Amino acid sequence: MNYTDWISLQIDFVCLTVYLIITFYLIKSRDQYRYAYISVLIICILIVGCDIGIRFYYDSRCSTFYSNNIICDKLNGATIVFSFCKYLFYFILIYVVSLLIYINSPNYSVFHKYKIFVGAIPFYAAVYLMISSMFDGRVLILTYNGMLIKGPYFYVLVAIIGLYSILGIYNALSIVSAQKERLTEITYYKSEYFLFYVAITLPFLLSTIGFLFDYPIVVAAFALTFTYLMTIHQHLRLSVDELTSINNLNELRRYLDNLMQVPEKERRQTFLIFIDIDRFKLINDKFGHNNGDVVLIQIARILKYISSSFNCFVCRYGGDEFIMIKKNANEEKAASICRFIEYSLGQLRDLSLAPYDLSVSTGFTKFDRRFKSTQEFIDAADRLMYETKRFSKKDYSSILRSEKTKEIGKSIF
């Protein structure tokens, strides 16, 4: 085994370990797409297994004319079988991934099933060429001394893989574009945004090169992509509220920690807006926790829409309390957002057939030099939330100038 084969073997074992760990994690998870992910991982594991078989069975001493004996015949035969299987599984991998991405893309419709049928024609043609090549050498030719060289139809397969790679990239970017709002909630820096695009397109960008030159880069690229996506998945589990599907307190702390790193001049233009559902305990006690969950989900959807309209960060602070953060604003802007929140909830109350009254208490505080840490800001918002609910102020055109607001500020700070 030469140095190149030894390096490839190490890469294969690392990728195999990664694939097995992710597969075990997905089996235990309740992700709705876990079976699709697992099917892709199984194909990747088969490719890695075939490549390991090639590295183990290939012996350069059996590649000379004078080394044709029974042992070399067996080694060459095993190498040939593993090579054909590797190319076949490799091709199936690119096709299956591009197909799954298309099915989950916004371009897909149940009325477009004929596109899947048409798109599968090159795949079936390529599978036929691969299988028949074992007998007539159309794709790979077995030389007299046990070496595999490229046949006349090899580059046809390269072109088909290139076609599926382009389609995979296009549909993957369509999914990302449709989920751009969700992506902005988990990426705060342009570098993270760029890294996400690289992660989902890297396997397709390298697939043609890997097939053409028989490099183990595609398997490694899929391992990196799966690892990165699993990291994001874990991050979402830790940072997204399971019930309302908006950010939770952990993500609020991360957001504020990042905010503490910006210059103080920019922080002074940041406002924290809090929303507290009125009489939520009464709704839970009288109408049941299921109705309470429905209320939380409905309000979270409205706040998510408002946050995207006003370019705000939004999270569930805990229980029946929500927080929005607006940067580059002033008191008038913060007050207008509070009024819009209450107006939107009023519209929901008027249109709802629910037997309970639905209203919220809102208020805001400014992020300035008084706060030396994230926790100080959160604690101040918590106290202000309590005071605002106690005073039940709703008219923000006057609350900005009222004496009672000054009293609230003194009691908190």
Q: Is residue 78 part of a domain?
A: yes
- Report whether 347 contacts 359 (CB < 8 A): no
Q: Are residues 213 and 320 in the same domain?
A: no
**What residue ranges in 246-345 does DSSP mark as E strands?**
270-277, 313-318, 321-326
Res. 385: pLDDT tops 70: no
- Report whether 362 contacts 274 (CB < 8 A): yes
Q: What is the DSSP letter of 110?
A: G
User: For residue 110, what pLDDT is reported?
Assistant: 59
Res. 65: pLDDT tops 70: no
User: CA–CA distance from 169 to each of 120, 164, 208, 219, 411 (Å)?
Assistant: 17, 9, 13, 17, 57
Q: Is residue 326 part of a domain?
A: yes
- Report whether 379 contacts 323 (CB < 8 A): no
Q: Are residues 254 and 232 in the same domain?
A: no
Q: Are residues 112 and 229 in the same domain?
A: yes
Q: Is residue 244 part of a domain?
A: no
Q: Are residues 121 and 165 in the same domain?
A: yes
Token pair of 247 as six digits: 């950010």
Q: Of 239, 270, 295, at which residue does a domain stop?
A: 239
User: For residue 399, what pLDDT is reported?
Assistant: 37
Res. 356: pLDDT tops 80: no
3-state secondary structure of 274: strand
Domain count, the chain: 2
b/e map of 228-243 (b: 16 or more CB within 10 Å)?
Answer: bebeeeeeeeebbbee
Instruction: For 169-214, write each residue's pLDDT tens digit.
Output: 888 888 777 666 666 655 556 677 777 788 888 888 888 887 777 7
This prediction has a pTM of 0.63
Can you give the residue range of the structural domain that contains 16? 3-239
